[in-house]
């Protein structure tokens, strides 16, 4: 018995030393890689941030696997006991397990990455960071119709991916189709308003209409579906109380959506306010 205890102590000591060496080695590797990324002049700031997050998460994964391999023979001695302990841990850490599963879903399904603009469970913003527990967003708002940064950050657990639909506002392409709703007063001529809104959209989108059409064709070939025409179009909706609402669908570059929307609105409001149209 006395000979067995020192053997256990020395084995655990060796495993602990191996774990520390692995941690130190991965820390040095991460530091070298991050420094190389930060000094790379060919990468944009967003690309650097994306690579740094990927490297950090990869190092964490390698560390967990390494620790599991190092301590495997120690854990094997407690295999029977761990079954009961594991059952209790599952009940006690259900939310953590859902977060880890959500992270696996995000990685496996390529749901979103750093720089994407997403909406989920009332949270909306640009993805700044993500790990195995949560995702951090730079909030966009106020509301769902605005595209301005509020300056606040939102952190939501990855478990929300299993309970809520996720909307990715910027698809993997340079141009997209967006919606702008214009409510009308009862006294306004909807035909005149529709004409001015469509003219405003065509004028503001004319400079990039050719490139937007090319992007839609590329989307059609990639996904084997009939892509919608990027030409601006207006549909009419009758909302609550019998009021009319004009809904404009227009193309815009992903990083210029707010600017194009504001330009269309200003041109439209200027046109309907002109004395010639009264």
Assessment of whether the complete model's pTM goes beyond 0.75: no
CATH fit for domain 79-170, picks 3.40.50.2020, 1.10.357.10, 2.30.30.60, 2.60.40.420: 2.30.30.60
Tell me phi and psi for residue 109, to 5 degrees.
Answer: -90, 0
Integer angstrom CA distances of residue 244 from 106, 183, 193: 41, 6, 11
DSSP, collapsed to helix, strand or coil, labels residue 182 as: strand
**Order of strands, sheet of 117-120, starting from the edge strand that comes earlier in the sequence:** 148-157, 134-141, 123-130, 117-120, 166-168
**Cβ–Cβ contacts within 10 Å for residue 89, how many?**
13
Q: What is the pLDDT along the chain (278 residues), one digit of tens a residue?
A: 444 444 445 777 888 888 899 999 999 999 999 889 888 888 888 888 889 888 889 999 999 998 888 887 776 766 667 677 777 777 778 888 889 899 999 988 888 988 888 889 888 888 999 999 999 999 987 766 677 788 889 999 999 998 899 988 766 667 888 889 999 987 888 999 999 999 999 999 999 998 888 888 877 777 666 777 889 999 999 888 778 999 999 998 877 788 899 999 999 999 988 766 65
Distance CA 144, CA 60 (A): 35
CATH architecture group of domain 175-277: 2-Layer Sandwich (3.30)
Tell me phi and psi for residue 230, to 5 degrees.
Answer: -80, -5
Supply the angle between the helices 4-38 and 45-70 in degrees, to the nearest 10.
170
The DSSP annotation for 77-130 comes to TTHHHHHHHHHHHHHHTHHHHHHHHHHHHHHHTT---TT-EEEETTEEEEEEEE
Identify which of 193, 176, 137 has the alpha carbon closest to the alpha carbon of residue 160. 137
Triad 135, 136, 141: Cα angle to 5°: 125
């Amino acid at each position: 018995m006395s000979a067995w205890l020192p053997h256990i102590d020395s084995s655990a000591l060796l495993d602990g030393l191996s774990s520390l060496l692995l941690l130190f080695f991965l820390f040095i590797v991460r530091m070298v890689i991050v420094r190389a990324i930060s000094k790379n002049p060919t990468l944009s700031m967003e690309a650097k941030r994306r690579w740094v997050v990927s490297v950090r998460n990869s190092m964490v994964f390698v560390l967990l696997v390494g620790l599991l391999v190092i301590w495997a023979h120690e854990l094997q001695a407690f295999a029977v006991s761990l079954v009961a302990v594991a059952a209790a841990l599952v009940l006690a850490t259900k939310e953590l397990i859902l977060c880890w599963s959500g992270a696996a879903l995000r990685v496996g399904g390529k749901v979103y990455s750093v720089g994407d603009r997403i909406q989920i469970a009332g949270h909306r913003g640009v993805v700044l960071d993500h790990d195995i527990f949560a995702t951090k967003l730079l909030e966009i708002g106020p509301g769902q119709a605005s595209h301005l940064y509020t300056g606040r950050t939102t952190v939501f657990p990855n478990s929300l991916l299993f309970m809520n639909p996720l909307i990715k506002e910027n698809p993997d392409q340079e141009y997209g189709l967006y919606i702008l709703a214009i409510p009308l007063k009862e006294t306004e001529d909807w035909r005149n308003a529709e004409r001015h809104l469509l003219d405003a959209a065509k004028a503001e989108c004319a400079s990039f209409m050719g490139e937007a059409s090319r992007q839609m064709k590329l989307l059609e070939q990639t996904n084997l579906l009939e892509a919608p025409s990027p030409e601006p179009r207006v549909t009419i909706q009758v909302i609550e109380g019998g009021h009319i609402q004009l809904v404009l669908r227009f193309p815009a570059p992903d990083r210029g959506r707010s600017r194009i929307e504001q330009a269309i609105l200003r041109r439209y409001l200027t046109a309907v306010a002109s004395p010639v149209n009264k």
